[in-house]
A and B are shown apart, each in its own frame.
Chain A
Amino acid sequence: MNCEKAENYLSAYLDDMLDPQLHTEVAAHLDGCAQCSEVVTEYRRYDTLLANTPRVSPSAALHDRIFNSPEFAAILRQQARANEAHPSAPQPAERRSANRGSPPHWGRIALQTAAVFVILVGSALLLKQGLFHSGPSTARHGSTPVIGNPNPNDAPLAAGNRVVYEHDGALWSAPESGPGLAQRLTPSNVQVSSVWSVSPDGKYVVYAEAGSGRLHVIRADRQGDTPLSSASALCSGAGICSVHPALVWSPDGTRIAYQAADGTLHVVNADGTNDQAITTSTQGLAISPLWSQDSLRLAYIQVNNAEQSVWSYDLVNRRASQLAAHADPANLAAVVEQMFWLPDAQHPALTWATWDATSKTITGIFTRDLLQSNTVRLTPADAHVTAAGFTPKQGTGLWLVGITQNETPALATVSATQPGLTITNSAPGNAITGIYWSPTGNTAAIVSEDGELSLATQNGASLASSKLNGVTGVPAWSPDGTHLAAQISVGIVSMRISNGQPASITHLLLGEPLLANMTMLWAPDSQSIAITAASGTYLSSPDNGHTFKQVDTQTAAGPFGWSVAG
Chain B
Amino acid sequence: MNLITGTAVAGRSLTDEAATKQSDSVRERASVAEARATEQAWSFERIYDEYKTPLYNYIYHLVGNREQADDLTQDTFLKAFKALPKMDANLKLSAWLYRIATNTAYDALRRRKLIAWLPWQDLDHEPADVESADPQETIGTSELVHAALKRMPHHYRAALLLYTQEGFSYAEIASTLNIAESGVKMYLSRARHSFREHYRALEQGGGVTK
How many residues of A are in contact with the other chain, CB < 8 A?
83
CB <8 Å contact, A548 and B117: yes
Partner of A80, one of B33, B110, B195, B210: B33
Q: Which of A8-16, A248-256, A365-373 lies on the face that meets chain B?
A: A8-16
**Is there an interface contact between A490 and B78, defined as CB atoms closer than 8 Å?**
no
Q: Is B74 interfacial (CB 8 A cutoff)? A: yes
User: How near does chain A come to B207, taking the closest CB pair, in angstroms?
Assistant: 7
**Option from A49, A75, A87, A468 in Cβ contact (under 8 Å) with B78:** A75
For A9, the closest partner residue in chain B by CB is B189
Bound form: Cα–Cα A510–B160 in Å: 20
- Give the dominant DSSP class at A's interface: mixed
Residues of B within 8 A of A67 (CB): 1, 3, 41, 44-45, 48
A17-B170, A62-B74, A76-B41 are known contacts. Are A506 and B36 too (CB-CB below 8 A)? no
Tell me if B125 and A507 are in contact (CB < 8 A). yes
A48 CB → nearest B CB, Å: 8
Q: How large is the interface on B (under 10, 10 to 19, 20 to 34, 35 or more residues)?
A: 35 or more
Closest B residue to A11 by beta carbon equals: B189
Contact B188 A87 (CB under 8 A): no
The reply to whether the CB of A466 lies closer than 8 angstroms to some CB of chain B is: yes
- Complex contact A54–B85 (CB within 8 A): no
B78/A51 in contact, CB under 8 A = no
- Whether A505 contacts B78 by the Cβ 8 Å rule is no
In the assembly, what is the distance between CA of A123 and CA of B161, in Å?
Answer: 32
- CB neighbours of B44 from chain A (8 A): 67, 72
- Pick from B14-22, B90-98, B198-206 the stretch touching chain A: B198-206
Main secondary structure of the interface of B (DSSP, over half): helix
| A549 interface contact, C-beta 8 A | yes
Minimum C-beta distance from B92 to chain A (A): 18
Interface residues of B in 109-123 (CB under 8 A from A): 110-121, 123
> Which chain B positions have C-beta within 8 A of A43?
192, 196
In the bound complex, residues from chain B placing their C-beta under 8 Å from that of A46 are 192, 195-196, 199
Interface string of A56-79 (1 = CB under 8 A from B): 111100110111110110011011
Residues on B with C-beta less than 8 A from A65 are: 70, 74
Whole-angstrom distance between the Cβ of B139 and the nearest chain A Cβ: 6
User: Is the pair B142, A59 in contact by a Cβ cutoff of 8 Å?
Assistant: no
A66–B114 CB distance below 8 A: no
Contact of A72 among B81, B121, B123 (CB under 8 A): B81
List chain B residues, Cβ under 8 A from A469: 135, 206-209
A-facing mask of B37-60, CB < 8 A → 1, else 0?
100110011001000111011001
Q: Are A58 and B82 in contact (CB under 8 A)?
A: no
Q: List residues 479-495 of chain A with CB under 8 A from any CB of chain B.
A: 488-491, 493, 495
Q: Which of chain A's residues have a CB closer than 8 A to the CB of B81?
A: 72, 75
Report the minimal beta-carbon distance from A460 to chain B, rounded to whole angstroms: 20
8 Å CB interface, B54-87 against A: 54, 56-57, 60-61, 66, 69-70, 73-74, 77-78, 81-82, 85-86
Across the interface, A548 reaches (CB within 8 A) one of B53, B119, B126, namely: B119
Residues from chain B with Cβ under 8 Å of A465 in the complex: 131, 210
| Docked CA distance A466–B126 (Å) | 13
Contact between chains at A510 and B123 (CB < 8 Å): yes
The yes or no answer to B127 lying at the interface (CB within 8 A) is yes
* Contact status B114-A468, CB under 8 Å: no
Residues in B neighbouring A10, C-beta threshold 8 A: 189, 192
A471 to B196 Cα, complex, angstroms: 23
Is the beta-carbon distance between A50 and B170 smaller than 8 angstroms? no
Q: Say whether B1 contacts A179, CB under 8 Å.
A: no
Q: How far is the CA of A84 from the CA of B33 in the complex (A)?
A: 5
Q: Which residues of B contact A93 (CB under 8 A)?
A: 86
Mark out the residues of chain A between 167 and 193 whose CB falls within 8 Å of any chain B CB in the assembled complex: 179, 181
Q: How far is the CA of A159 from the CA of B148 in the complex (A)?
A: 39
Given contacts A11-B185, A79-B40, A547-B117, contact A49 B145 (CB under 8 A): yes
| B-side contacts of A83, CB under 8 Å | 11, 30, 33-34, 36-37
What separation, in Å, do the CA atoms of A208 and B124 have in the docked complex? 41
Picked from B30, B33, B125, B206, the residue with its CB within 8 Å of the CB of A489 is B206
Which residues in chain B, 159-210, are within 8 Å of chain A measured between CB atoms?
160-161, 163-165, 170, 185, 188-189, 191-193, 195-196, 198-199, 202, 204-210
- The 10 A-B residue pairs with the shortest CB-CB distance, nearest first, are A470-B206, A83-B33, A489-B205, A11-B189, A511-B147, A50-B164, A80-B37, A489-B206, A58-B56, A90-B86
Please list the residues of chain A having a beta carbon within 8 angstroms of any beta carbon in chain B: 7-12, 15, 17, 39, 42-43, 46-47, 49-51, 53-59, 62-63, 65-69, 71-72, 75-76, 78-80, 82-84, 87, 90-91, 93, 106, 113, 116, 119-120, 123, 179, 181, 451, 465-471, 488-491, 493, 495, 502-507, 510-511, 513, 536, 545-550, 553
Known A116-B111, A550-B115; further 12 A-B contacts with Cβ < 8 A: A10-B189, A43-B196, A49-B141, A56-B56, A56-B57, A79-B40, A106-B82, A120-B113, A511-B146, A545-B119, A547-B119, A549-B117
> What are 28 A-B pairs with beta-carbon distances under 8 A?
A17-B185, A39-B196, A47-B163, A49-B141, A51-B165, A53-B61, A54-B142, A59-B70, A62-B52, A62-B56, A67-B44, A67-B48, A79-B36, A87-B33, A116-B111, A468-B208, A471-B206, A489-B205, A490-B205, A490-B207, A506-B123, A506-B125, A507-B123, A510-B147, A511-B202, A548-B117, A548-B120, A550-B116
Q: B: which residues have CB within 8 A of A?
A: 1, 3, 11, 30-31, 33-34, 36-37, 40-41, 44-45, 48, 52-54, 56-57, 60-61, 66, 69-70, 73-74, 77-78, 81-82, 85-86, 107, 110-121, 123-127, 129-131, 135, 139, 141-143, 145-148, 150-151, 160-161, 163-165, 170, 185, 188-189, 191-193, 195-196, 198-199, 202, 204-210
